[in-house]
A = this chain, B = another copy of it.
Amino acid sequence: MELDRRPREACGLLGISQHPDAATLTYFGIYALQHRGQESAGIAVSRDFEIQCRKGMGLVSDVFDRSILEGLKGECAIGHVRYSTTGSSVVLNAQPFVIRHKKKTYAVAHNGNLVNAHLLKNELEETGSIFQTTMDSEVFLHLFVKNLKHGFEQALVKTVSRLEGAFSMVMLTSKGEVIGIKDANSFRPLCLGKLNGNYVLASETCALDLVEAKFVRELDPGEIVIINDEGIKSIQTKKDPTKRSFCIFEFIYFARPDSTFFGKNVYLTRKAHGRRLAQEAPVDADLVMPFPDSGTYAALGYSEASGIPFELGMIRNHYIGRTFIQPTQSMRDFGVRVKLNPIKELLSGKDIIIIEDSIIRGTTVKTRVKALRELGVNRIHLRVSGPPHRFPCHYGIDFSTRGELIAAKMTIEELKEYIGLDSLYYLSIEGLLESMGVERPEDKFCKACFDGCYPVTFDGDLSKDCLEY
C-alpha cells in the first residue's frame, strides 16, 4: 500500500461491561486498534445513570492521560478511534456521540458507512429533527429515539432495520447497558470476548489480546447483543445469518496481522496470498522484498513458495511525525527517503521482486521504483497481493471515486510502463479466494472494489458493471 495515500478505514470500536477499570481497559483496547484510525479518539463511561465522555483529535495517547482516565469513573464503557469517511475532520465529528433524551443518556460509536443516511436524514428533517454533525451515528440516534415508544429492544431492532449499508456499532446507555450491533452483511468486523466473566466487544481480536480477554465469537450478520449486569442477550434481525459480505480488504490490508477473523489469522492469510502469487506469477530474481510494512507478510509467503531470499531492502524511519516539514530546495528523492531508505549495498546491481498489497493512485510506488533505479537496481518486478482496485467503496473505505483508482484508468501493461517496471502482476480474484481456503467465498466476502459487485445497492449503483469471474 502506498504510504502517502492509504485507504483510510472508518474506525475501531471497543465496548466493555461491568469491569471496575472500564475506562483504562477501553483505552488499551482502542490503543490496540489505533491502526484503524488516527484522527480522533474517544471514550464514554456510564455510572450512576450518567454518561461521561471524553474525546479529541489525535492519537489515543494524545487525547488521554492518566488523570483524564482516572476521571472517567464507571464500570461500563465504549471507545472509538476514527478516520473520517463521511463527516469532515473536526472534533465535533469525533465519537462516541452522546445525546440526552427524557432523563436518559446514550452514547454511540460506529464503524462503516450507511448508504441511505441522506434519505433518512431528509425524512427526519421533515419532522423537525436538527443535526449538529455529519455523522451516521447522529442519524441512528434520531431514529432510535423516535422508536423508543416501542420499548428499548424493539427500538433497537426497528432502527437497525431501517439502516442500509455497512455498520458495526457499540452503544452505551446511562443505565449501564453495552450494546453491540452488526449490519446484515457484516461488512465491518465486530467480535465478542470474555474477561473474567465479563463481556468485551472489539473490532479486532488484537484488542482482546491486549486486554487479556478470550475470544468468544464474531457477531453474526444483523445481530444485536445487549450486555448488562445480568448477562448477555442476542437478538437476530436477519433471517439467514450465514451469508455475509465481509470486507476482503480487511484481510489484505486493514487489519493487524495478529488479528483473526472467522478463524483465519491475518498474518497466515497474507502469507498464503504471497505463496499463491509466487505460483501465479513466478519470476527469476536475487531477492524478494516489501515496501515496509505493507506487503511484508505476502513477501514472506512469496519467498517461501519461490525459494528466493526475503530481504528488507528499504529501511523505515520510525520517527515520522504527523506534520513533517518539506524541504524548500529541490531534493529529488526526499519524499521517498524520509520514510524508506534503500540499502544500496544490498540492492545495487540486483534483480528484485517487490511485493505490495495494493496500488491506489500509483504515485508513491512510481517514485520509489525511480529511486531504486537510480541506486543501480537491475530488474524490478512488482507483484501485488490482491486484484486491481477498479471500483470505489461505498461501505466506509475512502477510495470512493473511480477517478483516483489508477487501475480503473490503465491496463496492467500501461501501468507497468507508467511505474517503470520490468514486470507487474496482480493476484487473481480466484487466487485470492482459493488461497484463503474459504468454502462458498461468494457468500462470505465483499470484493466490490475489485469486481464492482456491490452487495447493497445505492444511488448510482454500479453493480451492472459487476465483472464475471
Contact = CB atoms under 8 A, between A and B. Distances in A.
A62 B211 CA distance: 30
Contact of A66 (B122, B325, B329): B325
A346 interface: yes
Interface in A281-329: 293, 296-297, 300, 304, 309-312, 315, 317-319, 321, 323-325, 327-329
A21 B328 contact: yes
Question: Chain A: interface residue count, which band?
Answer: 35 or more
Given A99-B130, A141-B130, A327 B28 contact: yes
Given A21-B327, A21-B329, A61-B324, A317 B34 contact: yes
Contacts of A317: 31-32, 34
The number of times this chain is found in the oligomer is: 4
Chain B CB count within 10 A is highest, among A212, A312, A325, for A325
A69 B327 CA distance: 11
B315 A257 contact: yes
Interface of A: 20-21, 24-25, 27-28, 31-32, 34-35, 38, 59-62, 64-66, 69, 98-102, 122, 125, 127-132, 134, 141-142, 145-146, 206, 209-212, 256-258, 260, 265, 267-268, 293, 296-297, 300, 304, 309-312, 315, 317-319, 321, 323-325, 327-329, 331-334, 337-338, 341-346
11 contacts: A28-B338, A100-B131, A128-B129, A132-B132, A206-B315, A209-B337, A210-B337, A257-B315, A267-B312, A267-B315, A318-B318
